[in-house]
Amino acid sequence: MKHFFNRKDSIVTEALDGFLATAGSGTLARLDGYPEIKVVLRADWDKTKVSIVSGGGAGHEPSHAGFVGAGMLTAAVSGEIFASPSVEAVLAAIRATTGPAGCLLIVKNYTGDRLNFGLAAEKARAEGFAVEMVIVADDIALPDIAQPRGVAGTLFVHKIAGHLSESGHDLASVAAAARAAAKDIVSLGISLSSCSIPGQAHEDRFGADDGELGLGIHGEPGVERIALEAASKLVAIMAERFAARLDPHSRYALLINNLGSVPPLEMSLIANAVLSSSLARAVALTIGPGHLMTALNMNGFSLSLIRLNADREAALSAPVGPHAWLPAKPVRQPVVVAVAKPASRDAAKTTSRDAGVERLITAICEKLISLEEPLNSLDAKAGDGDTGSTVATGARSVLDRADTLPLADRGATLATIGDILGTSMGGSSGVLLSIFFTAAAQSLKGGAPLGMALLAGLDRMTFYGGAKVGDRTMVDALEPALKAFDASGLEAAAAAARRGAEATAAMRKAKAGRSAYIGRQLDIADPGAFAVAEVFSAVAAMFAPA
C-alpha cells in the first residue's frame, strides 16, 4: 500500500499540526511537548468544569483530537501510530486541563492505555488532582473474553461525559454516567482488508474473496474469516451477533463507523442495509455513517450500539463544537415526494397539418437518411464511424412521427422535433439538436422571427455543447448558415454552410465534439458540418426560383 507521508518518525506530529492548522484553527491548542507529549486541548478551557481527557495510539483519526471541543473532550492525548501515549503525556494533559472540578479519563480497554493512563491518574492524584477513569470494553468479537477491546463505541462515552461536563455536572456524576454508559455499549467490526502503516512493509492476509469479522482497530486479525458476500448478508451476520447482546425491550443509538477506506457511497449503502436488517427494530437514533474511529486505511466498518434512556438520548443529541462528531439523527420514515407533472403543453401542440412545412421536413429527413453511408464513412476517418447512423436515426424518428406534428404552429413543431430528437436520436448530437430546436421554439413563441429564433437555438446549443466555430463540429457550418439566413436568406445560407463545412477539412485541432481528441489535420470535412451543408443545399434547392 502507498501512503502520503514524509518521515516515519514525524507522521503523527505533522498530522496533528495539519489538523490544528485546519479543522482545529481558532478553537484548539496543543501542549508544547513534541515529540513525546502530543496533547491537543481546547483553547478556550478555563478549568471550571470537569475535564474530559481521552486518547490512545494514533491511526484512529478523527479520534481523538477531532473530538476535542465544547461538549466533548477537553483534551486528547496521542501516542505514535497504534502505540499508547506515555504516562508523562497523559499527566501533562491532566495538569493542563484539570481544576477543582477534577478530571475524567476515558480509556479504551488495551493494556498499554490502561496502564499508562492509570499510572498518570495515580500520579495526578498524588499531586492533588481529583481524577477518575472509565474503561470502555465494547467489542463483542470474542464473546467469552474477560477483557474485550475498546473500539468505536467509546465515542458514545466521550459524547455523554462531554455533555454532562459541559452542563456543569460534578466529577462523581459524570464518571458514574460514563461508567454506566460503557456497560451498555456493544460494537462489532468487519473488514475486507487489513490496514497498512505508512513506511512499513505490508502483507495483506486477506484473499480476493474474503473478509474478516470481529476486528479491532490496530490491524490485529479478525476473529473469523468470512466469505465476501452481498452487503446485506454481511450485515445480517453482524445483526445476528448483536441480537444476543441487545435487550429486546430497549431502544438503541447506532453508530456507523468507517474504519478507513470504504467509499462514502458504500458507507451509505451499508447504512441502508443495517436499517433494513433485523437490527433496525432496536435503533431509534443513528450517528454516521462516517469516519469516527478509523484503523488507518482498513477497508471495513464497525457498528456500535448503546442502550438509550432519556438522559443518554439528550446527551447524544446535544450539539457540540467538534465537527468530526456526526449529529445524531432520529430514525424516521423517509420522505418521498411525488414527481410533479410537466406544466400543461401548449394547446397548439396537438396535431395539425401544413403541407408546405410537411414537404420541407420530409425533404430534410430524407436527405439526412440518404447521407447515412457517406457520413459514416467520413466519421470513420476521425471517430467511431457512426455519425451517419445517428443522424439517420434522428431523421427517421422525426419522419415516423411527421403525421402527429402540430405543423400549423411553427414554434410547437420545432419544440416537438426537439422532444423527438432528445429521446430517439441518441448520442450527444441528439441532445444538442434537441437543445437547438427546444430553444429555437421558445424564442419563436416569444415573438422572434424564424432566423433570430434559430440563432437563439444555436446560442443555447453552443453554450451547453461548448463548441465554437473552428472547433471542427457542425457549428462550423451551422453558425455561418444561420447568420446568413437571418441576414440574406436561404441561398446565402446554403453557400455559407458549404464554405463552413469545407473549412473544417483544414482544421488542425479539434477542440469539441466527437473529434475532440484527434489533434491533427484530417484533410476531410467534419461529418456534422457536411450534413448541415447538405441540408441547407437541399432546402435552398426546394425554394429556388424554378
Q: What residues between 496 and 525 interact with a copy of itself by CB under 8 A? A: 511-512, 516
Catalytic position from the list 158, 169, 218, 291? 218
201 binds a copy of itself (CB under 8 A): no
219 binds a copy of itself (CB under 8 A): no
Binds a copy of itself (CB under 8 A): choice among 70, 180, 269, 538 = 269
For every residue of 454-480, DSSP letters joined together read: HHHHHHHHHHHH---TTSSSTHHHHHH
- Catalytic residue at 218? yes
Binds a copy of itself (CB under 8 A): choice among 329, 353, 359, 508 = 329
310 binds a copy of itself (CB under 8 A): no
| 310/339 with CB nearer a copy of itself | 339
Euclidean distance between CA atoms 86 and 31, whole angstroms = 14
DSSP state of 284: E
Which residue type does 183 have?
A: K
Residue (of 367, 388, 355) closest to 539 by Cα position = 367
Measured at the CA of 242, the angle between CA 237 and CA 244, to 5 degrees, comes to 110
Binds a copy of itself (CB under 8 A): choice among 180, 236, 326, 524 = 326
343 binds a copy of itself (CB under 8 A): yes
342 binds a copy of itself (CB under 8 A): yes
| 57/527 with CB nearer a copy of itself | 57
Binds a copy of itself (CB under 8 A): choice among 234, 239, 303, 525 = 234
451 binds a copy of itself (CB under 8 A): no
Binds a copy of itself (CB under 8 A): choice among 76, 133, 175, 539 = 133
Q: Which stretch binds a copy of itself (CB under 8 A): 110-118, 153-161, 236-244, 395-403?
A: 110-118
Query: Which residues between 12 and 51 bind a copy of itself (CB under 8 A)?
Result: 12, 14-26, 28-33, 37, 41, 43
Q: End-to-end alpha-carbon separation of the chain, Å?
A: 77
Query: Which residues between 65 and 84 bind a copy of itself (CB under 8 A)?
Result: 66, 81
232 binds a copy of itself (CB under 8 A): yes
Query: Which residues between 453 and 472 bind a copy of itself (CB under 8 A)?
Result: 460, 463-466, 471
Euclidean distance between CA atoms 495 and 374, whole angstroms = 20
489 binds a copy of itself (CB under 8 A): no
205 binds a copy of itself (CB under 8 A): no
Euclidean distance between CA atoms 149 and 138, whole angstroms = 6
Query: Which residues between 410 and 439 bind a copy of itself (CB under 8 A)?
Result: 415, 418, 422, 428, 431-432, 434-435, 438-439
- Find out whether 328 and 71 touch, Cβ atoms under 8 Å: no
Euclidean distance between CA atoms 391 and 394, whole angstroms = 5
Which residue type does 322 have?
A: P
52 binds a copy of itself (CB under 8 A): no
279 binds a copy of itself (CB under 8 A): no
Query: How many residues contact a copy of itself, by CB under 8 A?
Result: 135
Binds a copy of itself (CB under 8 A): choice among 201, 244, 265, 546 = 265
- Find out whether 16 and 65 touch, Cβ atoms under 8 Å: yes
Which residue type does 204 have?
A: D
What is the 3-state secondary structure of 135-197? EECCECCCCCCCCCCCCCCHHHHHHHHHHHHHCCCCHHHHHHHHHHHHHCEEEEEEECCCCCC
Q: 283-290 and 300-307: which strand pairing?
A: unpaired
Q: 541 — phi, psi (to 5°)? A: -65, -40
Query: Which residues between 352 and 411 bind a copy of itself (CB under 8 A)?
Result: none
3 binds a copy of itself (CB under 8 A): yes
| 463/543 with CB nearer a copy of itself | 463
Residue (of 300, 271, 27) closest to 152 by Cα position = 300
Cis peptide before 35 (omega within 30 of 0): yes
| 228/369 with CB nearer a copy of itself | 228
Euclidean distance between CA atoms 129 and 35, whole angstroms = 25
| 20/495 with CB nearer a copy of itself | 20
Residue pointed to by grid coordinates 438520548: 313
Euclidean distance between CA atoms 254 and 263, whole angstroms = 20
Query: Which residues between 143 and 172 bind a copy of itself (CB under 8 A)?
Result: 146-147
Binds a copy of itself (CB under 8 A): choice among 70, 119, 450, 469 = 119
Active site residues: 218
